[in-house]
A = this chain, B = another copy of it.
Amino acid sequence: MLLELDFSSQTPIYQQIRNQIVLAVAEGRLKDGQRIPSVRTLADESGINMMTVNKAYQLLRQEGYLQIDRRSGARISIPVSSIFLSSHPEGAVVTAAVNQLRPQLELLISEARLHGVSQELFLSTCCEIFHRQKEV
């Protein structure tokens, strides 16, 4: 369980934890059903407060990335959409997901373009990230 936390970052710690876990799931470093450290353990290991870790876990739970079990702690839970719907790209759920991400993507592309990033370079970067996530 490798977490790289930047305590002087603008983004709150619980957000960093959340982001890194989502990334790890997407890259396959964390698999469906896999157990991750309990709130206490992770807090001790990382030298941060239990409440902070808990906040990250609750956030992940709400988003469907985590299932929290009183018996065995926390387990990764990959939302069905990524498994079931990957072959139905026209599905309403997927469309909703795209629409939700669109504003962020628009902003990201704006910043890229204004810094001289061509469409080709941007798209190839996306491809590269996709491939890396699939492979790993």
The answer, yes or no, to whether A34 is at the interface (CB within 8 Å) is no
Assess the B79–A98 pair: CB atoms within 8 A. no
| Closest Cβ neighbor of A99 among chain B residues | B125
Beyond A19-B107, A81-B116, A91-B116, 20 additional pairs, beta carbon < 8 A: A8-B68, A8-B69, A12-B70, A23-B107, A27-B110, A86-B118, A89-B117, A93-B116, A94-B121, A97-B116, A98-B121, A101-B111, A102-B129, A105-B108, A106-B129, A109-B126, A113-B133, A119-B127, A123-B126, A126-B126
Residues in chain A within 8 A of chain B (CB atoms): 7-8, 12-13, 19, 22-23, 25-27, 62, 65, 67-71, 78-79, 81-86, 88-89, 91, 93-94, 97-98, 101-102, 104-123, 125-127, 129-130, 133
